[in-house]
A = this chain, B = another copy of it.
Amino acid sequence: MPRVSEEHRERRRQQILDAAQRCFVRKGFHKTSLQEIFRESGLSAGAVYGYFRSKDDLIRAIAARSEPQVSAILEEILDTGELPPLDEIVARFAAGVIERMGSGGGILIAPQGWALATYNPAVHEAMARIFSNTRSWWTRVAERLQDDGRLAPDADPHAVGAVLTSIITGFIVQRLLLGDVDAETLREGMRTLLSSDLGSSEAVGVGNELDRALALPVRSLDAG
Contact = CB atoms under 8 A, between A and B. Distances in A.
A195 to B, nearest CB: 5
Report, as a range, how many residues of chain A touch the other chain: 35 or more
A95 interface: yes
Contacts of A72: none
Nearest to A222: B180
Main secondary structure of the interface of A (DSSP, over half): helix
Interface string A203-224: 1100000110111101101000
Contact of A216 (B44, B145, B180, B188): B180
Given A26-B119, A95-B214, A86 B198 contact: yes
A174 B198 contact: no
Contact of A185 (B86, B176, B178, B221): B221
A68 interface: no
A155 to B, nearest CB: 4
Given A28-B115, A30-B30, A186 B166 contact: yes
Interface string A110-142: 011011111110001001100110010000000
Nearest to A128: B177
A81 interface: no
Interface in A136-187: 145, 150-152, 155-156, 158-171, 173-174, 176-187
23 contacts: A28-B118, A31-B119, A85-B198, A111-B118, A112-B115, A112-B118, A131-B173, A131-B174, A135-B174, A151-B196, A156-B189, A162-B185, A166-B167, A167-B167, A170-B173, A173-B173, A180-B219, A180-B221, A187-B204, A191-B203, A194-B194, A194-B196, A195-B197
Contacts of A201: 85
A174 B183 CA distance: 21
A27 interface: yes
Given A200-B88, A214-B183, A216-B180, A27 B119 contact: yes
